[in-house]
Amino acid sequence: MSAKEELFRAFPVVVTQNVVWGDMDAYEHVNNVVYFRYFENGRLEYFRRIGWFQIEEATKVGPILASTQARFRRALTYPDTIHIGTRLVELKDDRFSIEHNIVSEAQDTVVTIGDGLIVGYNHHLGAKAALPAALVAAIKALEARS
Amino acid sequence: MSAKEELFRAFPVVVTQNVVWGDMDAYEHVNNVVYFRYFENGRLEYFRRIGWFQIEEATKVGPILASTQARFRRALTYPDTIHIGTRLVELKDDRFSIEHNIVSEAQDTVVTIGDGLIVGYNHHLGAKAALPAALVAAIKALEARS
Amino acid sequence: MSAKEELFRAFPVVVTQNVVWGDMDAYEHVNNVVYFRYFENGRLEYFRRIGWFQIEEATKVGPILASTQARFRRALTYPDTIHIGTRLVELKDDRFSIEHNIVSEAQDTVVTIGDGLIVGYNHHLGAKAALPAALVAAIKALEARS
Amino acid sequence: MSAKEELFRAFPVVVTQNVVWGDMDAYEHVNNVVYFRYFENGRLEYFRRIGWFQIEEATKVGPILASTQARFRRALTYPDTIHIGTRLVELKDDRFSIEHNIVSEAQDTVVTIGDGLIVGYNHHLGAKAALPAALVAAIKALEARS
């Protein structure tokens, strides 16, 4: 089984995109900063899949990224196609943590591992907030599917 | 003592720059990805101050960023001026870890904390490598000064 | 015929990609700077299709972007899929100009028009240079196909 | 007179910033896309200086960038400090055009020339709009000073 197939099996949300030439820096590798944009692309797709944007309109509770990390195993170069997997690690009342794996098609392996901690925030009250019940249900349904 | 003064006292390398409007995203806050560019600016200035670019030419041993993390305490907005502090946390034979604090002038506090793990890499041999003695000496001298 | 179909008919090189959330700025539209990355993605794919990277290795003559322009007709927003068309406008001995059209799937129309002037540059001699014959032939062949 | 002094004499708004390592691409030059961020930094400072953000709140008429262009004369590299000059070229009822010059300290010359066309847009009405009288007066006052 290819690294891509394993990723699609293990992660409920996978975003596929091309590495573009401008993602590289003067070392002719994809710049470290760009991986956090890749993670963001995965995270936002995860949010879209659980319907958070609609839930946010109804409840005023949206996401705040409290922390994020990347561990770089291998360098990416242009041209390549990558698959950004995102899945739940832990779900609490007012926060949840996610994990990202980025697979390179050219290298057929996971090149970078990332994580993120997302906290509920009520824009109306300007304060941290419990995750809405509809959101928790959507996360559980999405993760159960994989 | 202001947060800026504390930063300059505690960190041997501080880079000062303006938050630009384009650093913000659709939430009208500085985007999470941009903080890793801020860290990179601090890290590269640290490398410049310890003379790594010259040492790299002589020894072929350059830096690889193995991992990096950000913890976001408060949001930044345009306009503001930030100070990015970088200092050593731990020095080993073939790697060292650094820490970043970003101070906002407008908020007079540390808004984001980051870290990075840097590994020595010999471009000639294509393999991890011990940190050159000249580099270790320069790191110690820089940190002793603060 | 959809705007996308017209684009694929009129432009020999079309790059398709998703608008990502982070492409937007504080006005909640894709930021003007990002369009030049879109153009670069189209331009580099054009270069790849005419085999310039191989020709550059053999002749030492590579591309320099001398100027570029964008005219913004309509704003893009996330989520959307765009198609970036690139085609030749004028071919001279030592330079050629290209044109970009960006089509939004959501809006089914051309949202942005761009152009670029590319000049041949001999990295070995450090001077402007005539376009290699193989490159001129490849451009003509690519454009004839469409 | 240095190129920097000439710039400060000829342009009413000048933004100074450091070229950062991450502004460079795989050719080890500042990437073409980054210059449009430099222009944006100059343009936004110009807007701030004429008080457009306050005028926008009162009149609902804000700026839209209709087109922009860059002509690249010389490449920038890290490290360097640049000065981004912005000035009015032509003022009309519902739009005005501006010009940018970017001076490199290391090269003591103008490395890039840019322009932009800004159109008034009433967010409340969702339509193009005449420039508010207070804005026109502020532009004229700013330009008269230089």
pLDDT one-digit tens code per residue, A75-115: 999 999 999 999 999 999 999 999 999 999 999 999 999 99
Average pLDDT, chain D: 97
Q: Which residues, given as ranges, of chain A have pLDDT below 70?
A: 146
Q: Tell me if D26 and A24 make a contact (CB, 8 A cut-off).
A: yes
- Predicted local distance difference test score (pLDDT) of residue C145: 77
- Predicted local distance difference test score (pLDDT) of residue C24: 98
What is the predicted ipTM?
A: 0.96
**CA C107, CA B31: separation in Å to the nearest integer?**
27
Q: Given the structure tokens 């240079």, which residue do they identify?
A: C129
CA distance D10 to chain C (A): 23
Both structure tokens of A121: 């925030």
CA distance A64 to chain B (A): 9
Strands (DSSP E) found in chain D: 13-19, 61-72, 80-91, 95-104, 109-122, 127-128
Q: What percent of chain B shows pLDDT beyond 70?
A: 99
- The backbone torsions φ and ψ at residue A124, rounded to the nearest 5 degrees and listed phi first, read -70, -45
Q: Tell me if C26 and B21 make a contact (CB, 8 A cut-off).
A: yes
CA distance A133 to chain C (A): 25
> pLDDT, tens digit, for every residue of C72-100?
999 999 999 999 999 999 999 999 999 99
- Predicted local distance difference test score (pLDDT) of residue B145: 77
Out of B68, B71, B72, whose CB is closest to A32?
Answer: B68
pLDDT mean over D9-22: 98
B69 CB neighbours in chain A (<8 A) are 67-70
CATH number at residue B35: 3.10.129.10
Question: Number of structural domains, chain D?
Answer: 1
- Predicted local distance difference test score (pLDDT) of residue C27: 93
Among A81, A69, A61, residue whose Cα is nearest residue A14: A81
A25 CB neighbours in chain D (<8 A) are 21-22, 24-26
Q: What percent of chain C shows pLDDT beyond 70?
A: 99
- Predicted local distance difference test score (pLDDT) of residue D145: 77
CA dihedral B89→B90→B96→B101, nearest 10 degrees, is -10
pLDDT band at C146 (very low <50, low <70, confident <90, very high): low
pLDDT band at D146 (very low <50, low <70, confident <90, very high): low
Out of A37, A40, A70, whose CB is closest to B67?
Answer: A70
> pLDDT, tens digit, for every residue of D17-61?
999 999 999 999 999 999 999 999 999 999 999 999 999 999 999
pLDDT mean over C118-141: 96
> Which residue range(s) make up the domain with C95?
3-145
**CA C27, CA B144: separation in Å to the nearest integer?**
46
**Cα atoms in the Cβ-side hemisphere of radius 13 Å centred on D74:** 14
Chain C residues with CB under 8 Å of a chain D CB are 31-33, 36-37, 40, 64-72
**CA B28, CA D132: separation in Å to the nearest integer?**
25
Question: Which one of A28, A33, A35, A38 would you mutate to disrupt binding with B, by most B Cβ within 10 Å of its Cβ?
Answer: A33
**CA A45, CA A42: separation in Å to the nearest integer?**
5
pLDDT mean over D5-27: 97
What Cα–Cα distance (Å) separates residue C28 from each residue in A39, A59, B1, C99, D5?
Answer: 20, 21, 38, 27, 38
pLDDT greater than 70 at residue B146: no
CA distance C32 to chain D (A): 8
DSSP at C109: E
> Nearest residue of B to residue C22 by CA position?
B25
Q: Given the structure tokens 């698959």, which residue do they identify?
A: A83
